[in-house]
Structure 1
Amino acid sequence: MGNDSLKYISTRGYQEKLEFHDVIFEGLAPDGGLYIPETWPRLDNDTIKSFNKKTYQEIAFNVISPYVDKSLPSKSLKTIINKAYSEFDNSEITPISKLNDNYYLLELYHGPTFAFKDVAMQFIGQLMSYYLNQDNKYINILGATSGDTGAAAIEGFKDIKSSKIFILHPYNKISEVQRKFMTTVKSDNVHNIAVKGSFDDCQIIIKEIFSDYEYKKQKNLTAVNSINWARIMCQIVYYFYALSRLKNNNEKVIFSVPTGNFGDILAGYIAKNMGLAIDMLNIATNENDILTRTLESGSHKLKSVKSTLSPSIDIQISSNFERLLYDITKNSEYITTIMNDLKNLNSYQLSNSITDKIKESFCSHTVTESEVKMLIKDTYNQHNIVIDPHTAVGLGSAKKCKNIYDLIIVLSTAHPAKFKDTVSSVINDISFIPTKIEKMMNFDEKLIILDNDVQLVKNFITDNTV
């Protein structure tokens, strides 16, 4: 399988088209844009129907194959997929739990760091290692995390001798468990950088470093944030998996996705474009509600980031929203203009025609802090299921959607133990905390704390790379 004709282009019009082998290492395009396939491959109905008899790994092979080329033979892709998911603690990889007749939780936290980021990062670690061994190359991996990406990336790349990994996180703005999943890893190739600022500040630093094209090439830098196409590609799979296990006839389907950087929900939009019968995607936001406001008014205006109980989506700059806007407009000049407005003016305005087009596939509802606590408590009391604050945002937002859907699938993006202090204080129970996390809390940490300054981060990377 594979698709040698499929090329990847920048949302901002950079002329050079990339092949799969190159796009997974590239991160941002030289013009600051994000890479996206020229077209969306489609799966035929018979293939999609056959998924109900296939394992997660087999579905992954069918969904990912159209995006790769001859640089990754089918046999090697299958090996990478099987290795990637060998450490998950559930044979279904992303199992589904039922809340009631039409509400379901898609559990995405059964990987080694207990968050949905493992689904992509375990694959990417194997994929990059495959290519690096083939090419006899060495890379330096750079990423920013709002809590879970960093841990998953470090777990995926620790001890890989052909790489060093630098992860930025906002100092004192992620949970203790999230931080310790990163900072207690004993591996010489791992560097944790705590930045005195927000996650958005960390993202800006990453983008500034990647925009220095000469430095990027000199240091052989690559990204593992969801600006990396491979991240999005892997996440498409579990939408197909979910409906292969739930959808039988012509049910109306909505997925509700706790949303910060827009990568996870974008994967659902791509699945829909590939032929999956999704009626609506709900952008579930906490009080950092820029995307909800954008859909309501067309005004995409940055505000100060609020610290909430769901820190992984405490985000104002949703990087992957750019990919959606390009796919809707197919106008790279327009994308460049509004992204410059966002950078220089902290806002841009979308036309009614664009927001109407977005609303064909997306709705959006905000969940308050008090609602998050109530939903955690009610889900525990009524269903004996413990959910984390981000899942609570997804569930609470879903309940505000139109009551027209037969299947309401909430993406449960993190194990509640990653936010054990918040959750245990609400339900007065700690039995949900795994032994692995209890032990980890006593491990020593290794990190460096830096001011919110691009040059300081750059200097640290320079001093710690070959």
Structure 2
Amino acid sequence: MKFYSTNNPGHKVSLKEAVIKGLAPDQGLYMPESIPVLPRSFFDKLPEKSFQEIGYEVISALFKADLSPKQIKDLVDHTLAFDAPLVKVEAGIYCLELFHGPTLAFKDFGARFCSKLMSMLMEGEKRKVRVLVATSGDTGSAVANGFYKIPGVEVIILYPKGKVSELQEKQFTTLGENIHCLEVEGVFDDCQKMVKEAFLDKELNERMMLTSANSINVARWIPQSLYYFYAYARLPEKHKKLVVSVPSGNFGNLGAGILAERMGLPIDMFIASTNLNKVVPEFLDGAPFSAKPSIQTLSNSMDVGNPSNFYRLLALYNNDENLFKEKVKGYFFDDEETQQAMAKVKAETGYILDPHGAVGFLGLKKFINQYPGEYQGIFLETAHPGKFKSVVDEVLGINLELPDRLKKFLSGSKKVEVLENDFDAFKNYLFEFNHV
């Protein structure tokens, strides 16, 4: 399978180059040259298959030309080492819980796949790989824990100072070893911009091997499609139309769902649910796509004003904006609406949402209420509520018990360096780091 750049379909590279480079030289995102459609027999037998069995077939359809059956099995088994339960919240409304991995966030799936695939592709290489990551919260913790102590790989994480929760921060800043953290005086978009500039800097790339583990990397993005197949397999009513609501920031997770649908999964509609960082919902409502400065909200992992995966979403629909707008609806909600949803769901069902899941729930309800009895819906709960304990406790008036895995991170000491919001400062850091 070759991978092309969203900015230039004529620029095609191998799987190894797409994964190791992360970003195309023209700043485009890599996309599979063709998207295989799985046979009807696969979907008929989905309810009988385990998560891993689904994973073998989906990943084989995409990567069988590049990886052996044993490599695919090892890759999938490593990635899907924990469950993704589908929980009924109310009649016709299901929550896909994606927080049962090591860092209790959905990005554990992609980070584990990416680290394992990268180590496979780099086998025999003598040079170290420098993985550059910008995070607004959960990406940092998932990537740090996914690559922790992986030989031949150094991870450098940039995150906005004061704009991630304490638990999120502790999950990636306390590890040490091959995980290096930079606290940037700015917002997530500033961190992301510096990472992108580093990938395009000729001098840096001549002196070191740089790659990304953000959702811009196909190895982080593609495996997220697996849990959409798994969720559909466990829906009790296959005859009803299905709408899936995805709380969205950088839009990799929504893109993975659309990839699953393009491969044949019968999802009738997607909802792009966001907070006040609403550039994509505005586009879907008729406005031109225009990046804006990010706005800080309670659902901080979605505080992205210039989502990198937007052009990947368009590419999945063959750059047909009308088709994109037919298949995806966008809604946005402010912090007050988010808190009200958290409180209402807890009071009526007993289910505890984190702020991101609450945004996904709101988008799903808004759509379904327009079509009474026509759709069943799934919304994604992308992080354990304990990762946002202070918000959850205040909104719900409870003292949420933290899982032991989160408690363990809280006891660690931060290991960080402060970086000014300046690419030259970041470049100098990388040059100095390269000599260590």
Task: Pick the TM interval, shorter chain.
Answer: over 0.9
Give CA-to-partner distance per residue, 1:127-186, whole Å, 9 cap, x none.
Answer: 112222244552110110110111111101111121100011111111111100011113
CA distance in 2, matches of 1:293, 1:416: 28
Q: 2:322 aligns with which of 356, 360, 374?
A: 356
What is the CA-CA distance between 1:218 and the residue it aligns to? 2.6
CA distance in 2, matches of 1:375, 1:328: 32
Indicate yes or no: 2:356 matched with 1:390.
yes
Q: 2:72 aligns with which of 50, 73, 77?
A: 77
CA distance in 2, matches of 1:134, 1:384: 52
Equivalent in the alignment of 1:175: 165
SS at match of 2:434: coil
What is the CA-CA distance between 1:122 and the residue it aligns to? 1.1
Give CA-to-partner distance per residue, 1:187-241, whole Å, 9 cap, x none.
Answer: 2x11101111111111111111111144224310011011101122101111111
Equivalent in the alignment of 2:199: 210
Q: 2:398 aligns with which of 429, 434, 439?
A: 429
Give CA-to-partner distance per residue, 1:421-459, whole Å, 9 cap, x none.
Answer: 000111122233213323422321101111110111111
- Aligned partners of 2:293 and 2:306 also within 8 Å: no
The residue identity in structure 2 corresponding to 1:284 is S
Indicate yes or no: 2:407 matched with 1:438.
yes
CA distance in 1, matches of 2:401, 2:49: 31
Cα distance change, pair 248–399 in 1 and its aligned pair in 2 (3 A): closer
Equivalent in the alignment of 1:3: none
Indicate yes or no: 2:106 matched with 1:116.
yes
- Equivalent positions of 1:113-152 (< 5 A) are 113-152=103-142
Residue correspondences, number:
432
Q: 1:61 aligns with which of 56, 63, 84?
A: 56
- Equivalent positions of 1:59-458 (< 5 A) are 59-86=54-81, 88=82, 93-187=83-177, 189-246=178-235, 248-329=237-318, 354-401=320-367, 402-404=370-372, 405-458=374-427
Give CA-to-partner distance per residue, 1:262-293, whole Å, 9 cap, x none.
Answer: 11001111111110101000000101111111
* TM-score normalised over the length of structure 2: 0.95
Cα distance change, pair 77–136 in 1 and its aligned pair in 2 (3 A): farther
Indicate yes or no: 2:3 matched with 1:8.
yes
SS at match of 1:299: coil
CA distance in 2, matches of 1:56, 1:328: 27
SS at match of 1:409: strand
SS at match of 2:270: strand
The residue identity in structure 1 corresponding to 2:329 is C
- Aligned partners of 1:30 and 1:213 also within 8 Å: no
The residue identity in structure 2 corresponding to 1:271 is A
Unaligned runs of 5+ in 1: 1-5, 331-353
Q: Which moved more, 1:40-49 or 1:426-435?
A: 426-435
SS at match of 2:244: strand
What is the CA-CA distance between 1:20 and the residue it aligns to? 1.6
SS at match of 1:193: strand
* TM-score normalised over the length of structure 1: 0.89
SS at match of 1:197: coil
Sequence identity (%): 37
Measured on the aligned residues, the alpha-carbon RMSD in Å equals: 1.6
Give CA-to-partner distance per residue, 1:27-68, whole Å, 9 cap, x none.
Answer: 111111111012211101111222211111111111111221
Q: Which moved more, 1:427-436 or 1:289-298?
A: 427-436
The residue identity in structure 2 corresponding to 1:34 is L
What is the CA-CA distance between 1:13 and the residue it aligns to? 1.1
Equivalent in the alignment of 1:350: none
The residue identity in structure 2 corresponding to 1:20 is L
CA distance in 1, matches of 2:293, 2:18: 33
